[in-house]
Structure 1
Amino acid sequence: MEIHTAEHQVITPSILYFGTPVVLLSTENGDGTANLAPMSSAWALGQTVVLGLGAHGQTGRNLLARPEVVINLPAPEHWAAVERLAPLTGYDPVPPHKRGTFRYEPAKFGAAGLSPLPAELVRPPRVAECPIQLEARAADVRPDSTDAFLIVEAHVLRVHADPRLVVPGTQHVDPARWSPLIYNFRHYFGLGPELGRSFRSETRAARA
């Protein structure tokens, strides 16, 4: 596809979710119960995952007090469960900016139709249905420059992967078998066919 910059249109979109993976964050509430929240502002660098959260949500409040978290990566077929979580909040009372749109729900797993699975190194549970689960600890939680969000640096302690996604005999996730759920301008997508691979790839090309 040819792109001619002279024909580009200047726009002012209300959001900039230009295609990022969805994750489900499980954290621990003050009473020891689990909170589960979807979010789509996450990126990884080495063994650190950087998360962007609303500053006044239950997940942020939990991480400021109890830094353990599981970063669960759903597959495309889980989009409806993610969407069932989207209008829920574990914050009681519902924060003013969420009233009328969100409702308080303490039993997030049940509301989403998902199953908790004990973690091994942290207290919050994993999401059993998610093919990849990252047990982690928030090493730093700080406000962004606008004070509207929290920026979280979470250090991954253990990775759980569905065996069907692992290249046999290796520690690698097979990119030909793993498809994350992508949040693209508030619409859900999976990946398309592989186009190629980086020269740094440690896994073979996708099977024909």
Structure 2
Amino acid sequence: MIHSPISPAIFYWGTPVVLVTTTNEDGTANIGPMSSAWWLGDRCVLGLEGNSQTTINLLRTKQCVLNLPDETMVSNINALARTTATVEIPDVKIKLGYRYDGNKFKTSRLTQQKSAKVIPPRIQECPVQMEAEVSGVHELMKDGPSAIKGFLLAVEVKVLQTYVDEKLRLEGHVNRIDSDKWRPVIMSFQNLYGLKAGQLAESTLADIDEENYRLPV
């Protein structure tokens, strides 16, 4: 194995696509596709641009739904690519070819589903939905140049309620997912990938009862 140094513009080694629903100022629903997301306990950290409508809505309302699409929803995801609900499109997004879209549910051919604990709707077609509220906002790259001050944020949200398609449940367990049935969409260096069917190998960590990871409430 021979290693050589590179300087990549992005570091998307592979993370799940999330369709984040939020509420616009006029009460309509917005869908923000993103993939800089990771979970720990009942918290999720979302890496977002400070000028995106999703971020603007999150900071104003403190609410969202994290909808996880599966491999059957690639066309819906692509329909949302390079769209923004921000009326005055930032120069950086104009350069990237973004266009204004005030009705992303129509554009993506997706269906609103009423949430129970937050105002933003769930996406009915997504097999996993997590209603959440903002619990913290952290500015990234504070040590960077002034031109990018406030450009990137890590928004921490607390998951309030999780819904899953019944077909994803692990038989014999109330709160577990059958990993062999869950097929998320993975973003890797701007391209969409699925998971190869079946496990690569059995994990030693899988011997630990999943409930042991549940944090105190």
Structure 1-normalised TM-score?
0.91
Q: Secondary structure at the match of 1:44?
A: strand
Counterparts of 1:77-88 in structure 2, within 5 Å, are 77-88=72-83
**Partner SS state of residue 9, structure 2:** coil
Amino acid at match of 2:169: V
Separation in structure 2 between the aligned mates of residue 176 and residue 128 of structure 1, nearest angstrom: 22
Residue 72 of structure 1 pairs with residue 67 of structure 2: yes
Distance apart, 1:169 and its partner CA: 3.6
| Cross-structure match for 1:178 | 182
Runs of 4+ aligned structure 1 residues displaced above 6 Å come to: none
Q: Is the 8 A contact 1:24 1:74 kept in 2?
A: yes
State the one-letter code of the partner of 2:52. G
2:103 counterpart letter in structure 1: A
Of 107-116 and 143-152, more deviation after overlay is shown by 143-152
Query: Does residue 199 of structure 1 match 2:194?
Result: no
Which stretch shifts more, 95-104 or 131-140? 95-104
Specify which of 147, 155, 160 is matched with residue 158 of structure 2. Answer: 155
Identity %: 39
After TM superposition, list the pairs within 5 Å mapping 1:36-185 onto structure 2.
36-100=31-95, 101-145=97-141, 146=144, 147-170=150-173, 171-185=175-189
Report the counterpart of residue 213 of structure 2 in structure 1: none
Residue 99 of structure 1, CA deviation: 1.5
Q: One-letter code of the match for 2:78? A: E
* 8 A Cα contact 1:63 1:141, kept in partner: no
The aligned counterpart of 1:206 is: none
Unaligned stretches of 5+ residues in structure 2: 145-149, 211-217
Q: CA deviation at 1:198?
A: 2.8
What's the TM-score once normalised by structure 2's chain length? Answer: 0.87
2: CA distance, partners of 1:116 / 1:156: 19
Alignment RMSD (CA, Å): 1.3
1:12 matched residue in structure 2: 7
CA shift at 1:183, angstroms? 0.4
8 Å Cα contact 1:55-1:143 kept in structure 2: no
Deviation at 1:10, TM superposition (A): 1.5
Query: Displacement, 1:196?
Result: 2.2
CA–CA distance in 1 between the matches of 2:22 and 2:199?
Answer: 34
Partner Cα separation in structure 2 for residue 80 and residue 186 of structure 1: 15
Task: Quote how far apart the aligned CAs of 1:131 are.
Answer: 0.5
Which residue does 1:187 correspond to in 2?
A: 191
